[in-house]
Chain A
């Protein structure tokens, strides 16, 4: 058995960043784009906590709590904006939101 080192966490986090980025850039459904952004934020959290453990410093964990709080605030505002849009124009697909030139 190999021990799990910081490098493993970094690898996982980089993979999540990649998946999130590809998700944001290729998916049509805005809810899934939102989820992809959350995925990137979780990649950040994973990094922070892995570093926090490796460095034996608690700052990273505190920072992760801030990031979680921020992700919640962002999701609330994002879904609010999406609902306002859905009321006026019944769609959640990014390529149908084309009133302004994209």
Chain B
């Protein structure tokens, strides 16, 4: 009995990505007071090394997939895919952070430690096969991100963003937990597959109503985390107030991980009651798309605009969840990867242009960027076109597969309304493009600094990713299709 509680070496190896990141992040915390200011870039270099190591480990451990720690973690294709996505988001966040932290004269050690801890949490979330583990991962990720959102602690906007993120985030987690507690009480287990068997077995007596309540509470909690309507209220404020690289990170990493557990919980444990929750997701998807896109139309602050756009994009992924099919899951996986690239790229440009103290954040500040820094403008164009969903970009195939999955599941109205929505969205992205290429340079574009190597990498890598996903979508989609089957 007790022998089975000691993890085997195979199980420890399946946990290798998390181990690498935890060790490095802890080292940063220890070294931070010892190293002086002249070594401030060391943390960034080691973060990137650690993240590359963790990504290699995540791919390596997939050679021998399976469960770890008494079935609490499950290394399968789905987990590996999302591990690579969240670690990749981490790398793309570290790259623009070099310049950002220098410019704002902020400490670097704690920043990178918190970032790595947050990514550890996301890796645990996407690998977890069990509700307690999902909760622990969610909290490791969330608590580190609350602090990151308020990292510039002398900046009132950052304080406010952190506080709002914290209050609404922990409120949402509490709801999620209440749902988990009910599930545990009704089924006697927190393992997703066991919960599913208990629901299917029908031996629950008066429990179906409680299962429904639990599913609804967990839907509220996860809805907050993915910023789907009507729980999106925090997103614009938090993205506006948080340091720009952190806003980029929040809009991609925690969101991808939250969608991963959303898909895993609702398509494994709650799959038998699918017809019950589908209307909820349907309404939330439509509300997120409509509210996000229409609110974005009127925004003048670029970070708020991108926040509303990220709400709309959460709506598209919820459409894939509403499809309740393996095709839908694969489409959601593909979309999260494509979205991570294009959104982080766009935020990196914003971070570059905004200048010290983030002064230039108006859409008008993009005026003349095409003339002053053609390379940056061209890369931003790729990201914006991908966000619109123009062919040859990852965003196009992401939307295409999602709406195809929705049609396969006979969600005709949702598909039609979603497509109309993406037409509306084109307007506010094109507005930025017009601003960049057809206006005379303003103050922001005239004062723009040359690109640093870190920033250059932070712009070129996501652009390459967006184009590769747009030109060779099959590479990623095949893998996503094979990994999207939870229940065999």
Which residues from chain A sit less than 8 Å from chain B, CB to CB?
6, 10, 17, 20, 24, 30, 33-34, 37, 40-41, 43-44, 47-48, 50-51, 54-55, 57, 59-60, 62-63, 66-67, 70, 73-74, 77-78, 80-82, 84-85, 88-89, 94, 97, 99-102
Contacts and interface: CB of A to CB of B under 8 A. Distances in A.
Contacts, number: 121
A81 B157 contact: no
| B interface majority secondary structure | helix
B160 A97 contact: yes
A31 B177 CA distance: 21
Given A44-B181, A59-B190, A66 B171 contact: no
Interface stretch (B35-43, B50-58, B135-143, B438-446): B135-143
Contacts of B240: 100
B184 A77 contact: no
Interface string B198-235: 00000000000000000000000000000000000100
Interface in B60-107: none
A37 B170 contact: yes
B146 interface: yes
Given A74-B139, A77-B166, A100-B240, A24 B171 contact: yes
Contact of B139 (A33, A50, A70, A94): A70
B178 A84 contact: no
B12 interface: no
Contacts of B175: 40
Contacts of A47: 178, 181-182, 185
Nearest to A81: B162
Interchain residue pairs A-B with the least CB separation, the first 3:
A51-B185, A40-B174, A85-B159
Contacts of A73: 139, 143
Given A59-B184, A102-B237, A97 B154 contact: no
Contacts of A97: 160, 163-164
Given A24-B167, A67-B177, A100-B157, 18 more contacts: A30-B163, A34-B167, A44-B180, A48-B181, A70-B135, A74-B139, A74-B143, A74-B166, A77-B147, A78-B170, A81-B147, A84-B159, A85-B156, A88-B155, A89-B159, A97-B163, A100-B160, A101-B237
B177 A44 contact: yes
Contacts of B136: 66, 70
A17 B178 contact: yes
B144 to A, nearest CB: 9
Contacts of A63: 132, 180-181, 184, 190
Interface residues of B, number: 41
Contacts of B171: 24, 37, 40
A17 B178 CA distance: 8
Nearest to A80: B147
A48 B163 contact: no
B161 interface: yes
A70 to B, nearest CB: 5
A51 B167 CA distance: 28
B188 A55 contact: yes
Contact of A84 (B132, B135, B150, B177): B150
Nearest to A70: B139
Contacts of B132: 59, 62-63, 66
B184 A60 contact: yes
Nearest to B241: A100
A99 B174 contact: no
A78 B147 CA distance: 9
A55 B178 contact: no
B357 to A, nearest CB: 14
A48 B160 CA distance: 34
B153 interface: yes
B394 interface: no
A66 B135 CA distance: 9
Nearest to A89: B156
B253 interface: no
A77 B236 CA distance: 22
Contacts of A85: 156, 159-160, 162-163
A84 B22 CA distance: 27
Contacts of A60: 181, 184-185
Contact of A20 (B157, B174, B182): B174
